Structure 1
Amino acid sequence: MQIKRSKYHIVANLICLILLLGIIIYLGINWNNIPDKIPGHYNSMGVVDRWGNKGELLILPIVGWITYLGMTTLEQFPQAWNTGVTVTAENKERVYLILKNMLVTVKLLVVMNFVYLTIISALGKNLPIWFLPVFLILMFGSIIFFTIKLLRAK
């Protein structure tokens, strides 16, 4: 089954691509200005608790690209999705559209997270105290939002 791509899907994917390409360009332009030691890990308060070399900065964009490509590929195969509800001929389009919206939203949030972490790490800064709670609220909030829509659509 093919699910129509909405304007939201197109815009979200475009933003993901711009962010992922942008972070590669940012690192390329600023590589010589990035300190040799950069934050390698942050604790739950956003404080650096491990330092690494700047080569580790490449891990975040690589994982971001892998996540983007993997989730984009997964979007093409709705039959592989665990819907959590019974899919019927009457609700099939609604159910799969809601799930695709959720996948695209989660993908966008994850890509934004990797790009932000790369920039903060390249600058050698601690994460703001609000980072983890905001990210978790956005991530779980969107999943809960789409799950409620899904349960109502069945």
Structure 2
Amino acid sequence: MGNSSRPDIDIEKPFLHKVLDIIGITALLLVLASIVINWSSIPETVPQHFNATGEPDRWGDKWTIFLLPSIGVILWIGLSFLERIPQSFNYVVKIKEGNAERQYYFAVTLIRLIKNEISIFFALLTQMIVQMWNGQQDGLQFWVIPVFLVILFGTLIIYIVKSIQWR
């Protein structure tokens, strides 16, 4: 694609980004710790999939409870490495010397927001599954998926609009 002509700029991680990272990874680690602590009380089968109304429609072995938080941790780590190389990203505008730093900064911010939104969402879903096996709720609450999708796609749309404005 010819990204070699793009400037290689180090993007500083501001305090807010560090806070977001701490919140995202802490949510996943806390839910993993909760599973480990409560392992003996977890039933042998746990919900794996939910229908449109939030009711479980597929069940699996209790080890599958680790699936979402583990995927979340792997994504979090992978996206953390990816955000270090913004010059290799695809952009909606042409990257030049004059706009590179701003475009890189906001692209890295986008990746950080997305990785932490996904982390918090996976932790929340896992916690809801935990509440189901504890008898504290019957299924997923109806608002969870739509709110997550609005947040995730809202973040992307705002980034694309702003990226075009910051040419």
Normalising by the residue count of structure 2, what TM-score does the alignment of the two structures yield?
0.88
Runs of at least 4 residues of structure 1 off by over 6 A?
A: none
Q: CA deviation at 1:123?
A: 2.6
Q: Deviation digits for residues 62-87 of structure 1, max 9, x if unmatched? A: 10111000000000111221112101
Within 5 Å, which residues of 2 pair with 1:74-93?
A: 74-93=82-101
Identify which of 69, 72, 87 aligns with 2:80. Answer: 72
Matched, 1:28 2:36: yes
Q: Report the 3-state secondary structure (helix = DSSP H, G, I; strand = E; otherwise coil) of the residue aligned with 1:27.
A: helix
* Structure 2 counterpart of 1:40, from 38, 41, 48: 48
Quick one: which of 102, 105, 119 aligns to 2:127? Answer: 119
List alignment gaps of at least 5 residues for structure 1: none
SS where residue 116 of structure 2 aligns? helix
Pairwise CA distance, 1:111? 0.2
Identical pairs, percent: 32
**Pair 1:130-2:138 in alignment:** no
Distance 1:75 1:82 in 2: 12
Partner SS for 2:46 = strand
* SS of the residue 1:123 aligns to: helix
Equivalences, count:
154
Distance 1:90 1:71 in 2: 26
The Cα shift of 1:36 comes to: 1.8
Task: List aligned pairs for 1:7-22, cutoff 5 A.
Answer: 7-22=15-30
- Would you say 1:144 and 2:157 are equivalent positions? yes
Could you tell me how far apart the structure 2 residues matched to 1:114 and 1:7 are? Answer: 24
State whether residues 34 and 123 of structure 1, in contact with CA within 8 Å, keep that contact through their aligned partners in structure 2. Answer: no
Q: Which secondary structure does the structure 2 equivalent of 1:100 belong to?
A: helix
* CA-based RMSD: 1.2
Report the TM-score, using the length of structure 1 for normalisation.
0.95
* 1:13 shift after superposition: 0.8
Q: Which residue identity is paired with 1:7?
A: F
1:106 and 2:119 equivalent? no
* Alignment of 1:57 onto 2:65: yes
Q: Could you list the runs of 5+ residues in structure 2 that have no partner in the other structure? A: 1-8, 133-137
SS of 2:20's equivalent in the other structure is helix
Kindly state the Cα deviation for residue 42 of structure 1 after the two structures are TM-superposed. 1.1
